[in-house]
Structure 1
């Protein structure tokens, strides 16, 4: 799985994060917001009797939503996990880790896990939301337009009404 294009920030002055990042500096791009995903199948029925099973299916739904919006798991910059049993979530961390990595790889965005009284979806034990940022790309030109203009100006290739024809390097402006 590709590395994230965003910068993770984990200051040494904070406790070492395990399974998340303290902060993410986002590369400019297109923002994708993924609404609350539970363990619902395409027919609308819930699947999974345990929190781990539901987490697995809900995270799969998150990735499906991301990909259909043109994003990948490495573009996720923020994730929120809501569960009706934070004690069960905490007790299953060693099992949840491999499930998470199967869907998301070793990309750990800024995350929070929240214990809630109940979720809107009947029978749901977990609901996941996230935000992803797909970086801007310039498929037609490897240099951005702004950078290409800087290169042209630096090399004296641009002529225009503001050039001084007597300045060294502006020979073209004199012709």
Structure 2
């Protein structure tokens, strides 16, 4: 299920949203807050040597916490990624995007990536948190007239590659 019961808003007057949405109007429902998820396994041991490996496990943990609260990834209305290495995160955007889609589907809520000097869990390179709203009643998405879909592909400006996008 990649469709959300919430209304995604991506105004044509803003730049293309790449892997996220600019805004989201929440359908009334039950609010679920997911606290900081790192790549810790059930036994408390941090797994993964790389940021990519840790992101994969942290995202799996976040989805597990959502489901335990009777929520789904499509109910997420806001997500934050904290990382100790924005540069490594940026270099791995394509891989991280694939991992994201494996866990979350092709639904892109408003998100932010925040660089931090360190995280509470020693050795953690990434920590995720989100807010989800499980709707009281599923409402079909209305067609968006002055909005557009999120762009799934990572723009070359983020990866440092030259881009001809927007040039004639």
**Residue 2 to residue 20, structure 1, CA distance change in 2 (3 Å):** closer
When the two chains are superposed, the root-mean-square deviation of aligned CA atoms in Å is: 1.0
Task: Give the structure-2-normalised TM-score.
Answer: 0.81
Unaligned runs of 5+ in 1: 139-175
Offset of residue 137 of structure 1: 3.3
Note the residue ranges of structure 2 that are not aligned, 5 or more in a row: 139-168
Following TM superposition, where does structure 1 have runs of at least 4 consecutive aligned residues deviating by more than 3 angstroms?
none
Could you tell me the TM-score, scaled by structure 1's length?
Answer: 0.78
Which residue does the alignment assign to 2:156? none
Determine if contact 2:2/2:106 at 8 Å carries over to the other structure. Answer: no
Q: Does 1:124 align with 2:124?
A: yes
Match of 1:9 in 2: 9
Match of 2:132, SS? strand
For residues 63-101 of structure 1, give each alpha carbon's deviation from its aligned partner in whole angstroms, at most 9, with x where no partner exists.
000000010000000000000000000000011010000
SS in 2 for 1:43: coil
Write the mapping of 1:18-167 to structure 2, written as runs, cut at 5 A.
18-137=18-137
Name the structure where helix makes up a greater proportion of residues: 1
Deviation at 1:2, TM superposition (A): 4.1
**Whose radius of gyration is greater, 1 or 2?**
1
Q: What number of residue pairs does the alignment pair up?
A: 138
Higher relative CO (Cα under 8 Å, sequence separation at least 6) belongs to: 2
